[in-house]
Structure 1
Amino acid sequence: MITVENLTKSFQHNGGTVRALDGVSMEVPSGAVCGVVGASGAGKSTLARCIALLEKPDSGAIRVEGTDLVALDGKALRAARRQIGVVPQGDSLLRQRTAAGNIALPLEAAAVSGPQRRTRVAELLDLVGLSDKAGVYPDQLSGGQRQRIAVARALAAKPSVLLADEPTSALDPSTTDSVLAVLDRARSELGVTVLVVTHDMAVVRRIADDVAVLEDGRVVEHGKVLDLVSEPGSRISSSLLPETDQAGSLKPGSGHDVVAEVVLVGFAAVGALLPEASSRFGVELSILGGGLTRLGDTPVAKFKVGLTGERAEQALKWMVERDAHVRRAPVSVDGVAAA
């Protein structure tokens, strides 16, 4: 588990002080993938560098499995750094070394024996799906393949935490998928806790269990992705789920007794809840906007619906009782908002 407590970090810039992190607190469960998102300058990369011990925070604590890394120095600090693998932003491979040679670098630094190094490198090449590229140099690899080798190198010393800073930057969609699949495998097969700094919400949609939104050095939203998308007004919900209409509003719909925004999570709810509600309560249900997406392996739908019939309110209540998340706007039959 990664626990960040009241972290602050400032820099001097153009004669003034810039506070990159301002009291950041967050928690990432062991074995989870957490996406850290926000606009440029929000503090994402500074947070990652502090957790990786590449930058020392001004104050606060960074705990990995209960140990405060900020309080360490000397031998203890070096040992802690080995528990944190880092995939830097951009292309970081050494051009004079093969793919296997790049992966072996951390093992050589740790004085791991030749046979053990070769075994570990082979395991990691298999993990990232590039066993046939062991003897190939970086300039002969695609951008996505280089990133997968960079992930393998970061995993070489068997860290408990993997930090990836914009790992899919400048990659096309199919190549992005291959890199994200490797990060997901690191979590699922190796049990590594993964922190991904990204501006791309598709990364969060594809592999994140948790997400933290940074703005001006502060965490403004944090939690499990599937919980946040169900909360009205959530920034993550508006970024990850389909828009229900151009304005994203719940303006009354003419001819409907009730207009509501409904978020449905999971296979059963997405496939059956709306038609069953319509049939069970004898109401006409119209889809006025929205759509279906997938968060990890979980389908999630967000619809704007209009319900017409005497039991429209009962139908909505029944859906809520079955874990639908509903934000409703009651209207009269002529489309005028009810008092």
Structure 2
Amino acid sequence: MITVENLTKTFPGSTGQVRALDGVNLDVAAGTVLGVVGPSGAGKSTLARCVALLERPDSGAIRVDGTDLVSLDGTALRAARRRIGVVPQGDSLLRQRTAAGNVALPLEAAGVAGPQRRSRVAELLDLVGLTDKAGSYPDQLSGGQRQRVAVARALAASPSVLLADEPTSALDPDTTGSVLTVLDRARAELGVTVLVVTHDMGVVRRICDDVAVLEGGRVVEHGKVLDLVSDAASRTAASLLPAVDQNPGAEAAFDRVADVVLVGFAAVGALLPEATSRFGVDLNLLGGGLTRLGETPVARFRVGLKGERADSALEWISEAGGSVRRTLAGPQGVAA
């Protein structure tokens, strides 16, 4: 759906050119939610603006459904932009228009007839759960409700791609949840491919299929969330999985100590108990915990094992789909 190839973008700075994007490459499959994360100044918002052609990159290609947007101009570019809905950062609603009036803006600009326009606005307000707020003005809405109206407006022209720049910034947890639910519904019910720029890894945990980590204008990690968390050394795993505290005194009592990542209901519920019984080892949980990524349970535990077949137990857990990273020096310092 979206392919970004060797994208670069610079801006003038006080000491010369600042490279906001430096050879960025991404692939986003149709119907997925990609979270673009990273520290402030990493290039996240610049990437989103370039994908929407609100900023022209210096070089590189941006393909949506196979069409390179960078090569377009005039009528062709305007038509391509209508396939990309944008939810800007911050409050972007027109104060003199009602919620329904704000959602209708893109349809009015496109010349959509009144009855068809009203029907589409009603559908979208229902999608975002604000049918009863159709006649309310932005100042009569909460911050989360205004964001949901902004999402509905971005979806008005039936885009295939939705870009949301920090859609949950400054929202409380409950309100954040309602906005993320709307973005997830847009993907699930409308088939829209969603690119979410965020500093909040909780957004990735809640709705993202894939994640791209930017740092200094470069993509330093990119892939499916569940694949990346299976690698205990990844940045995504460090950000999303329960922390494991060091306790050398307790760990010294065991023959083997390892960090184990388990993904899915079956793995979380069964692998460790089965390893214990299958290999006759004593297995203790030394730290870590459970979380949920989307609808999938994921666990990271530090485990201590006692018994002659401790190595075999760890190897079997790895072969059965768990990710095993041994933590102490000696033979157990090598990953199973």
Equivalent position of 1:115 in the other structure? 115
Residue 278, structure 1, aligned to residue 276, structure 2: yes
Equivalent position of 1:82 in the other structure? 82
Equivalent position of 1:96 in the other structure? 96
CA distance in 2, matches of 1:154, 1:338: 51
Query: Which amino acid in structure 1 is aligned with residue 2 of structure 2?
Result: I
Q: 1:40 is paired with a residue of what secondary structure?
A: coil
CA distance in 2, matches of 1:185, 1:280: 43
Deviation at 1:11, TM superposition (A): 0.5
Note the 1:63-212 alignment, pairs <5 A: 63-212=63-212
Q: 1:255 is paired with a residue of what secondary structure?
A: coil
CA distance in 2, matches of 1:178, 1:338: 44
Contact 2:8 2:60 (8 Å CA) reproduced:
yes
Contact 2:232 2:261 (8 Å CA) reproduced:
no
Identify if the C-alpha distance between structure 1 residues 13 and 330 changes in structure 2 by more than 3 Å, giving closer, same or farther. Answer: closer
Deviation at 1:280, TM superposition (A): 1.8
CA distance in 1, matches of 2:187, 2:158: 12
CA distance in 1, matches of 2:333, 2:234: 26
CA distance in 2, matches of 1:190, 1:29: 15
Contact 1:206 1:296 (8 Å CA) reproduced:
yes
Equivalent position of 2:293 in the other structure? 295
Deviations 1:239-269 (A, max 9, x none): 000111158xx89812211100000000011
Query: Which amino acid in structure 1 is aligned with residue 257 of structure 2?
Result: V
Contact 2:256 2:332 (8 Å CA) reproduced:
no
Q: 1:10 is paired with a residue of what secondary structure?
A: strand
Deviations 1:21-77 (A, max 9, x none): 000001110000000001100000000000011000000000001100000011100
Residue 7, structure 1, aligned to residue 7, structure 2: yes
Name structure 2 gaps, 5 residues minimum.
none
Equivalent position of 1:242 in the other structure? 242
Name structure 1 gaps, 5 residues minimum.
none
TM-score (norm 1): 0.95
Moved over 6 A (4+): 336-339
Contact 2:326 2:333 (8 Å CA) reproduced:
no
Deviation at 1:331, TM superposition (A): 6.7
Equivalent position of 1:324 in the other structure? 322
Between the aligned residues of both structures, percent identity stands at 77
> What's the RMSD between the two structures over aligned residues?
1.7
TM-score (norm 2): 0.96
Contact 1:2 1:62 (8 Å CA) reproduced:
yes
Equivalent position of 1:308 in the other structure? 306
Query: Which amino acid in structure 2 is aligned with residue 294 of structure 1?
Result: R
Equivalent position of 1:266 in the other structure? 264
Deviation at 1:338, TM superposition (A): 8.5
Query: Which amino acid in structure 1 is aligned with residue 108 of structure 2?
Result: E
Equivalent position of 2:215 in the other structure? 215
Query: Which amino acid in structure 1 is aligned with residue 252 of structure 2?
Result: S
Query: Which amino acid in structure 2 is aligned with residue 46 of structure 1?
Result: T
CA distance in 2, matches of 1:61, 1:10: 15
CA distance in 2, matches of 1:338, 1:203: 34
Q: 2:253 is paired with a residue of what secondary structure?
A: coil
CA distance in 2, matches of 1:135, 1:59: 45
Residue 226, structure 1, aligned to residue 226, structure 2: yes
Contact 1:257 1:331 (8 Å CA) reproduced:
no
CA distance in 1, matches of 2:308, 2:57: 60
Equivalent position of 2:45 in the other structure? 45
Contact 2:37 2:211 (8 Å CA) reproduced:
yes
User: When the two structures are aligned, how many residues end up with a matched partner?
Assistant: 334
Comparing 256-265 with 7-16, greater Cα deviation is found at 7-16
Deviation at 1:232, TM superposition (A): 3.4
Contact 2:201 2:240 (8 Å CA) reproduced:
yes
Deviations 1:289-317 (A, max 9, x none): 10000011100000000010111111111
